Structure 1
Amino acid sequence: MARPGQRGSGRARTSPGTGTQRRPAQRPAEQGIIPVLAEVAREVDRIVQRPPTRPALRTKFQVVALLVREERARVMADGSLTSSKRTEQLKRLDGVATLLAKIAARDTSLLQLLAEDARVSDAARDYKASLMRAGGLEPPEEPEPEPEVQVVPVVTAAPRVVPQSVRARQLANPFLAPDFEAAAERAAAKARRLAGWELLDPLFQSFERAATGQPACMTLPEPRHVPLPLGRELMPHQAQVVTATARGHRTFLLADEPGLGKTAQALLAAQAADAYPLLVVVPNVVKTNWAHEVGMWTPLRRSTVVHGDGAQVDAFADVVIVNYELLDRHVGWLGDLGFRGMVVDEAHFIKNKSSQRSQHVLALSERIRERTARPLMMALTGTPLINDIEDFRAIWQFLGWIDDTKPLGKLVTALEDTGLTPADPGFYAAARTSVIDMGIVRRRKVDVAADIPARRVADLPVELDGAVGRSIRAAEAALAERLVERYRSAVTALGMTPDGIDLDLARRVAAGELKDSSDKAGGENVFTMVRRIGQAKAGLAADYAAQLARNVGKVVFFARHVDVMDQAEQSFADRGIKYASIRGEQTTRTRNKNVAAFVDDPEVQIVVCSLMAAGVGLNLQVASNLVLAELSWTDAEQTQAIDRIHRIGQDQPVTAWRIIAAQTIDAKIAELIDSKSALAARALDGAEVEEGASSTDVQLEALVGLLVDALAAEGVG
C-alpha cells in the first residue's frame, strides 16, 4: 500500500517472449521521491564533468537540492515513522546530499543556487512539480498571483544616518532645481508596434540563441586625445570608452577582463561627461584603491570614502565612494545629494534582485535618473554572468535599459526600428545587437595585448579597519617615537646643533634600531610590525584573489609567512574554492603533485605559494594573474615570484596585484622596492649604481623614512 501522498507503483514488469528475464518488483526502499532525486543527481553529476554547465542543468541541480531539503524536514516531522525507518530515510537523503556537494565542488558557481535568497525560476517550479509527481507526491497548489504593485524598493533593516557634512551641504544648497528634460526623456520612448509582446525573456534568450562566439562589444570610436595628469598614459582600448563618453554615450556595462584598467576608464569617463558629483559603489576591499585612483587620474577632483556612520565624510567632494555593506545606513542621504553619475564596481554583486544591496543600488540609480537628464551610469564587472542569462536583469535595470517588466527608452526604440517581432527568426540576432549597442563593452587581454605591457605590477591599497588596524598604527607610532628619542639623545650626546634634519645621523640611528631588532627576541620592531601587517591583510588579499579567480580563472597567491598562507587557504576553503599549496616543508613529491594539480586540474583555481619556497624553480604560466599578499624586502625576490608566470610559453600579459596597507609602513616599503627596481634596471642598462638592492637597504631606508616623517611632524627641518 502506498503511503499517504504517494501513488502506488510497485508492480513488476515482464518482458514479452519466452525465455526473457523477469524484472524484479521494485523494493519498498526504492519507492518514493528519494530514488527519483538520486537518479537526477547522478545524471547531473555525469553532465557537470563535461563543462560548460548549461542553464537546464543548473535548474535540475537547484530543484534536487530544494527537494532534498524539504524531504528531510518532512521525514523529521513524520511521527508515523519508526526510529529505524527514519534513520534509513535520512541516510539515503544524506547520500544524495553528498553527491550534490561533490557536484558543487566541481562547479562552485552552483553554490549560488543553494542560498536562502536564490531566485527560483518558473521553469524550476515546473520541473520541481514533475519530480514530485514522479516520486508519488502531489505538488502544492501555486498561490494566485497578487496584483502587481509598483513599489520603490526601500529597506530599513539598519538605522539611517545623515553625516554632519551632508547637513552642511544641504544648507549650502537647499534647492535642487527640477530637471524637466529628465522627465521628458523617460516618457518619450514607448513600444508601439511591439505593444503587447513579452520582450524581456526574448532579450535575455538572444544572448544564447544568437551568440556569435565573440565577446559582446559595442562599436567604439577611434580613440582621441584625452587630457591626463603628467606621467600618466592611457592605453588605446581605454581611450575608446572615454571618447565614446565624450561623444555623448552615457550607459556602459564595462565587462573588460581584470587588468585592463576599468577603474581609470570609469573615472576619466566621468570627467568627460562632467558627471559630478559622482557616486561609486564598490566592494570593501577596493574602496581605498578607488580613492587612490581618483588622485592618480583626476587629481583636480576631490574624493571622500564613507566609513561607518560617515562622521568623516566630505559631502562637498566630487566623488563619493561607499561599499555595498554600508548602503543600508546611508542610502537616504545618498539618494538626495544630487549625483549626476553612478559607478557600480563588481556589478555582479547585485545580480540577486531580492537582496538588500541590489535593492539599494537600484533605488539609488532610479533616484539619480529622476533628478538628472542622461546621467552617466556604469556597471563594472569581469563576470556579468554567474549562473545564467538572468543575471543580466539587475545590471540592465541599474543602467536604465529595462524595468521589472519591459525594456525602456532607447532600447525600446531600437527594437521597434528592427521591424521584427519575437515570432520572426531574425529577431534574436537583432535584439542582441540592440542591447550590445546600449553600452556593453567586453575586451579580453588577448584582444588588446598590443595595448598593455607584457608584465606590470598593479598596487591595490587597502584600509586596515577595526582594532587590528588601530593596534598596528599605534605600534608604528611607538616605533617612530623610539627612533625620535634615539635621534634626540644622539644629538645631545654629540653636542650637535643641526640646521634641520641630519640625514647621516638619521641613518645611523635607524641602523642601530635595525641591529637591535635583529639581535633581540620579542618586543615590537620593524620585523614584527611588517608581519602583523601581513596577517591583517591576509583576509583582504584572499578576498581579492577569490574575485580574480572568479573573473579570469587561475590565480597564483604569494605570501611570506605561514600564518598568512593558513588564513588565505581557510578563506578559500570557506568559499568552496579548490586550491593547491606550495610550502617549504613539503617533500619534492608532494610539491610536484601540488604543482601538477594547479597546472592540469581545471577545478584547482588558486595555488598558495611561499615567497621563499616557491619564488624560484616553478613554472606556473597557466595563470596570468598573481597576488602578492605580503611585500618582499627586495625587488629581486618580488621579480622572482612574478617570473613564475611571466616566462617563455606565457601567451597573455601578466599582472601582479600587490596588496598594500594604506597609511602604514607598508606603503613606504613598496615605494622603496620600486626605487631599487629602477636602480637595478639602470645597472643592467649599463649605468653605474653606487648602492646595491639588498634587503637591509630597504629595511634601513624604511626606518629612516619613518624617523624623518616623525621629526618633520614635530617641526624639525
Structure 2
Amino acid sequence: RTLAGWDGEGVRLTPMQVGVVDLFATASDHVAMSDAWRMRIAPLRDASTDAGLPPLPSLATILRPYQRRGHAWLTTRLSGGIGGILADDMGLGKTVQILSAVAALRAHAGESSPVLVVVPTSVVGVWIDQARTFTPALEVRAVKETATRRGTTIREEVENADIVVTSYTLARLESEQWSQVRLGGLVIDEAQAVKNPRTATYRALRDLDAPWKLAVSGTPIENSLSDLWSLLSLTCPGLLPPWETFQQQVRRPIENGSDPAMLARLSAYVAPFVLRRTKEEVAPDLPDKIVDVVRVDLGKEHRHIYDQFLARERARILDLLRDVDANRMSVLASITRLRQLALDPALVEESYAHVGSAKIEYLADRLDEIVPLGHQALVFSQFTSFLERIRHMLERRGISVVQLDGSTRGRAEVIEKFRSGQAQVFLISLKAGGSGLTLTEADYVYVMDPWWNPAAEEQAIDRAHRIGQTKKVNVYRMVATDTIEAKVVELQDRKRQLISSVMNGTGTGARLSEADLRGLLD
C-alpha cells in the first residue's frame, strides 16, 4: 500500500520494521510517535549506542572500543528477541563480541536454554578454544559426531550447557532432533554457507526454535543480493518481501542499475539489522596491509599451448552460451581448464610437465629471498594439484612446507607446525582454509590464482591480516598476463562495486551474467 493511498487505518508494526517508520517520516511533514515507541526503536537506529547489557568485568577490560559497541549492538537486539547480521571485516574479532554478548545474556537476562553455534566443520575447534579462553565460566560443548557414533541424543548433549557448537553437516543430518530442543539463541557462523534458501541446511536452521538468530559473515553478499535476502530471512523473518517479490522488485532493479533509489531504500531498511565495520574504520592499530598485483608472463611454449586451447574452445563455449542455463556445467568445465592452463599446463595434461610454470618459478624465487630472513608465507590456490606441484618445487629447494586441503589428516598438527616455525611456508586450498584460521605468524601472502568471488580472496588474505598481527602484511595477487585470469580480475572489481553499494548505500552495483562469461573469452 502506498502512503498516498493510505486511508488512515491502523498499521501494526514491530521494532523490526523501524525502516517503515523512517520511510513514513521522509514522505510526510509530521509523524507522531509515542515516547515508549521512540525508546524502543532508538537503539536500533544507532549502531554506536551504549545501550544494551553491560559486558562481564573480565571481558570489559579486553574488548576494544569498537568491540564494546558491537557488544552493545548485539545485546540490545538479542535481549529483545531481534536477530541480524554481524558483518564486520574478517579479523576484527566477531567471535569474541558474540561470546561477550552471550555471556551477558546468561548473566543479566536469565536465559538458561543453550545457545547453538553452527559453523563449518573446520571451525568447530576454533569456537571451542575461543569460548574457553574468553568465557571460561560458560559450559561449552561440541557435537562432532552423529547420534549413532556418540551414543547420546541431542537433548542429552545440550543438557546444562550454555553454548553448544556443531557443524553445518551435523545440524542438517540431525535437524529433527535439534528442532525439538528449545534454544536460547542461534549463531550461524561463516553464514555465507547458507546463502541458498533451497538447501536442506537452510531449511534445518530456519526451523529451529530460538528467540533470536544471528548470522555472522564478513562477506554477507558474495555474488548477489539474493545472499543478503537468505541471511535476513533466517535472522529477521518478515523484514524483506517474499523471495519472488524481492527478486523482481528489489534485486533486479538494483543489480541492473535501473533504480538507484531502490538501492538507497534497501540500504536504509536493512541498516538497523546489519552491523559492518571495516578495519580502516575501527582498527587503526592494525599494521599496514600492502597488496600488489603481480603480472606474470607465460613462457613461450606455455603461451602456445594456452592460445591453442583457447582458439579451439572459444567457439564451442560461445555456442553453449546460447543456452547458458542448460549448458552451465559444460561452460564452467571449459573455463576451469583455461584457468588451470594459465597456471600450469601439466594440470590439464601430464605430458606437459616439462613445460613448467612461470608462477611457480616466480614464487620459489621470492621465497628463496624472504625465508632466510625469518619470514613466513601463506600460499593459496583453488587447485590442490597446483599446490602439489608448488610443494615439490619448494621441497627441492630445501624450503620446509606444510599443506592444508580437503584431504589433509591431522589438521591441528599441520597448523601447529607452521605456527611453531617448523615450516616456513603454508600451502592452503582456498576452500579448505580460506576461513576460520588465524595465522598471524605469516607476514607474506601469495594468492596464486584469482577467483571471481573477491570475498573468498579477502577471507584468505585475512588469515594473516588480523587483530594480533604485529608485522606489516605483504600480499601478492598473481595474474597470468593475456589470459582468462586478467578477465577474472575485472569481474572481481565489478563484484566489489555491488558489495560496497549495498553495505554503504551508494552506487549501482553489478553481477556476474552471461555477458560476463562471454567477456572471459574475449
TM value normalised by structure 1: 0.34
Greater RCO (Cα-Cα under 8 Å, separation 6 or more):
2
TM value normalised by structure 2: 0.45
